[in-house]
Amino acid sequence: MSATRQLHDLGQSLWLDNITRALLTSGTLERYIEELAVTGLTSNPTIFDHAIKNAGIYDDAIRSKADEGKSGEALFFELALEDLTRAADLFRPIHDATGGVDGWVSLEVSPLLADDSAGTIKAAAQLHTRAQRPNLFIKIPGTRAGLPAIEETIFAGVPVNVTLLFSREHYLAAAEAYMRGIERRIAAGLDPKVGSVASIFVSRWDVAVKDKVQAQFRNRLGIAIAMRTYKACRDLLASPRWQKLAASGAQPQRLLWASTGTKDPTASDVLYVQALAAPETINTMPEQTLLAFADHGAVNDAMRVDGGSAEIVLAEFKREGVDAEALAADLQREGTESFAKSWRDLMLRIGSKRERLTRTQ
């Protein structure tokens, strides 16, 4: 049995952190579903920027939409929705077979809305309505302005992938926003079953501290943070508050491990996949990491629900001078800024390609 199938059978969903039109038209995504047990995918502005930059496969679509007068964000969202609705249709049988637990794709609102709660709520509703797919998450960052937008979007019945979470505290804040939205739906007599995942970014922790700690501490911090967060998630799902919601028909907000490609060239290329094996969670991984795990990965022990050695490891980092709370805030801020930069780069990329394609007609 393949390592990817073993991980799936353990109870963890494998999602692809990539989307390109070539993946769809070549049949590669279908093959990953059939052969590698891939059951969903995620996207972000950087992924789309690379896809449009490195492939002429989007040229005809960009030219056609430019002829219709579309540009900038409007043009991009049409391209993205074409790709993601097609991917959603591929995953729809999984979505239906699992009762809406799995088989999702994700589309992000503009990162430029990170500090605009009202704008985020409006954009999330519009994008989900345009997609017309029940298995499409709208990605909203778990920032200060994002949290009220998450609650309102869930209350409106729009599924949400909460992105840019870096710590247990970030996760708990996102879970609180999700549960408030569900509780309000129940109070209003609405269906409490609205999908959501909470995405914890892992490897960026280790990148942030690699030059600040001794060699024996490298590539350990992100995993410890994930273990601590997993314990918090399991504790929350066992709480009376959540059990009451579950009894009303609500589905758990699943924990998703993001940023799971290994950044350290001296470490195993499947380091985070193997360390983060945990039932009832999701690991969304870059294509290169997925293929590496399928080739030479191994499924060892599942992550412990009590957090294992997380607190011991985090205490060691604290003695090394790492303030996890402050670093989590820095990572979220830097992640927000990075996504905004990627978005601006993407808009420039589309604009320049649109201009070139229309000029050469």
Mind telling me the catalytic residues?
Answer: 139
The alpha-helical segments, DSSP class H, found in 98-145 are: 117-131
E strands of the chain, at which residues? 13-16, 38-41, 105-108, 136-141, 160-165, 196-201, 254-258, 281-285
Distance CA 353, CA 356 (A): 5
Q: Which two tokens stand for residue 233?
A: 């998630």
* Placement of tokens 């609650």 in the chain: 151
By C-alpha distance, which of 234, 235, 159 is closest to 197? 159
Distance CA 166, CA 306 (A): 19
**Residue 273, number of CB atoms within 10 A of its CB:** 27
Q: Which two tokens stand for residue 175?
A: 């879970």
Q: Going by C-beta distance under 8 Å and a sequence separation of 6 or more, which residues neighbour residue 296?
A: 3, 270
Burial class (CB in 10 A: 0-12, 13-18, 19+), 197: buried
Instruction: Estimate the crossing angle of helix 28-36 against helix 72-97, to 10 degrees.
Output: 30
106: β partners: 137
Distance CA 226, CA 166 (A): 9
Contact call for residues 51 and 21 (beta carbons, < 8 A): yes
